[in-house]
Amino acid sequence: MLSKKQLFTRGMLDISPHMLSVIPFGIICGAIGVELGFNPYLVYAMSFIIFGGASQIVFLQLLSGGASSLIAVTSVGIINSRHLLYGAVLSEYLEKLSFIKKLLISYVVVDQGFAESNKFFKKNRSEEYLHYHLIGTGCTLWVFWQIATLSGIILGSFVPEELGLKFAIPLTFIAIVVQDLKKLDHVIVMITCGLSSLLFFDAPFKSYIIISPLIALFVAALLLRLKK
């Protein structure tokens, strides 16, 4: 049985390789906000209040393009609706926590943290303080996200644009799912999601980000039927 501290540290270690993509993306995100002419304090407030990389950039771009606040806020909600799926998966492991703890831990659930903690949870179901792993991944991501976006706001985009570091984002997620390519059913689900996301890319409010996972999960349900 691992202690709380050990689990927290393990979470920090498991998430740390992803900082390779999180830090440049955070810097870009902060720099874009200032470049688009927004108040630096508000640009930073997004990192603290919204705390969701892609949705922050979309929010800035929509508003600078003249979209109404209502449209920008709705888009953020839709882009981040994928967290509902993460929550549904995590709920099994967080069931025993008190309501207050559930409310607090929810704030730090983000893509990479969910992915790494979920992998750890599956292998270590019996651990008593499992949620400390999620706190470890979540808090590490939070701290680095704040520092990275702040650096981007203060120093501007000191990461040369020619390097195309935004490309690190798809790479980070490739690293997360690549081992599941061993399983044919997962490959089918991934391709369904990926192709749907390209097909529905122009759907309003960036809704491709939730439409394509739902289509892919529907296909997963069909595959489960076939397996029986």
Partner 1 sequence: MTLTSIIFAGILTYFTRMTMIALISRDMLGDKIKAVLEYVPSAVFPAIIFPGIFINDYGTFIEINDPKIYGALVAIVVGYFSKNIIATILSGLVSYWFLIFIVFS
Smallest distance from partner 1 to CB 1, Å: 22
**Among the listed residues 27, 29, 32, 72, the single contact to partner 1 using CB under 8 A:** 72
Residue-wise DSSP of 62-78: HHHTT--HHHHHHHHHH
* 149 binding partner 1? (CB under 8 A): no
Closest CA to 212 of 226, 191, 186, 185: 191
* 169 binding partner 1? (CB under 8 A): yes
Task: Identify residues 41-70 at the interface with partner 1 (CB under 8 A).
Answer: 42, 45-46, 49-52, 54-55, 59-60, 63, 69
* 216 binding partner 1? (CB under 8 A): yes
In angstroms, rounded to a whole number, what is the distance separating the alpha carbons of residues 194 and 196?
A: 5
Task: Identify residues 78-97 at the interface with partner 1 (CB under 8 A).
Answer: 80-92, 94-95
Task: Count CB-CB contacts under 10 A for residue 217.
Answer: 14
Residue 7 or residue 46: which is nearer to partner 1 going by CB?
46
* 139 binding partner 1? (CB under 8 A): no
Number of helical (H) and strand (E) elements in the chain, helices listed first = 12, 0
* 23 binding partner 1? (CB under 8 A): no
* 190 binding partner 1? (CB under 8 A): yes
The token pair that represents 88 in the structure block: 């549904």
In angstroms, rounded to a whole number, what is the distance separating the alpha carbons of residues 114 and 138?
A: 8
Residue matched to tokens 């390519």? 181
Task: Identify residues 95-124 at the interface with partner 1 (CB under 8 A).
Answer: 95, 99, 102-103, 105-107, 109, 111, 115, 118
The token pair that represents 18 in the structure block: 């992803």
* 12 binding partner 1? (CB under 8 A): no
